[in-house]
Amino acid sequence: MKIYGDLISPFVRMTVVTAHEVGLGDKVQHLVEAVKPTEVNAKLAALSPIGKIPILETDHGHGVYDSRVIMEYLCHVAGNSTLIPDDGVKRFRVLTLQALGQGLADSAVAYRYEVGVRPQGLQWQEWMSRTVTRMNAAFDDLESNWQDCLAGVHVGAIAVAVTLGYVDFRLGDLNWRQGRPKLAAFHEAFALRPSMVKTALKPK
């Protein structure tokens, strides 16, 4: 199996962390593939018409995407039923937490494109302000309503921990730790897991 994409993408890192957590770290080849929102990457386009990273290529040459599906695919291949629990109540709590972490990542990546990639002068201030409000609402919700769930190791906790790492890396000015000590403690502890250490972002 191959996973294409750069670990700076929180979506890519979530899948590689998942591969390590389910014991497939040695079976998954991680290949760095750069993408630009304004250009087609021919190699990726052959596996996915959407062309966003991550994409997993199976041993049979099929493309599996997006990150949520890849995380589930890896759990399935490994026979792991703890990262996505079977039990209905736990399952949908974990999957909703994963959606919250990935929704936050969507906002953070889009904000980064707007600020760092979009040509100067074309930024949309109202959208940027709404996006910061959305990200702060997500941080507040994680602080107040998800601490019980964040105590486990599953796709929800992975999505949140990786996204917070991305926010630190790209959007440090957001100061998400301020007034959110429980979320900060969660991130500090989760970042010590070997899966997170092996995929840690290095400043370029």
Ligand X SMILES: N[C@@H](CCC(=O)N[C@@H](CS)C(=O)NCC(=O)O)C(=O)O
Q: CB-wise, 83 or 143, nearer to ligand X?
A: 83
The only residue of 4, 11, 146, 190 in contact with ligand X, by rule CB under 6 A:
11
What part of residues 139-198 is at the interface with ligand X (CB under 6 A)?
none
- Taking CA 78 as the corner, what is the angle to CA 72 and CA 82, rounded to the nearest 5 degrees? 65
Residue 9 within binding range of ligand X, rule CB under 6 A: yes
The only residue of 47, 53, 56, 150 in contact with ligand X, by rule CB under 6 A:
53
Residue 4 within binding range of ligand X, rule CB under 6 A: no
* Span near ligand X by CB under 6 A; candidates 52-60, 74-82, 117-125, 150-158: 52-60
At a CB cut-off of 8 Å and minimum separation 6, what does 10 contact? 105, 108, 109, 162, 163, 165, 166
Cβ 29 to ligand X shortest distance, Å:
18
Q: Give Cα 192 to chain centroid, integer Å.
A: 17
* Full strand arrangement of the beta sheet holding 2-4: 29-31, 2-4, 55-57, 63-64
What distance in Å separates the CA atoms of residue 94 and residue 157, rounded to the nearest whole number?
8
Please, are residues 14 and 71 in contact by the beta-carbon 8 Å criterion?
yes
What distance in Å separates the CA atoms of residue 91 and residue 56, rounded to the nearest whole number?
23
Binding letters toward ligand X, positions 55-94, x by CB under 6 A: -----------xxx--------------------------
What distance in Å separates the CA atoms of residue 57 and residue 49, rounded to the nearest whole number?
14
Cβ 44 to ligand X shortest distance, Å:
8
Residue 13 within binding range of ligand X, rule CB under 6 A: no
Residue 52 within binding range of ligand X, rule CB under 6 A: yes
Residue 114 within binding range of ligand X, rule CB under 6 A: no
- The shares of helix, strand and coil residues in the chain, as percent rounded to the nearest 5, are 55, 5, 35
Please, are residues 56 and 72 in contact by the beta-carbon 8 Å criterion?
no
Cβ 67 to ligand X shortest distance, Å:
3
The only residue of 3, 109, 155, 164 in contact with ligand X, by rule CB under 6 A:
109
Contact residues toward ligand X (CB under 6 A) are 9, 11, 35, 37, 51-54, 66-68, 102, 109
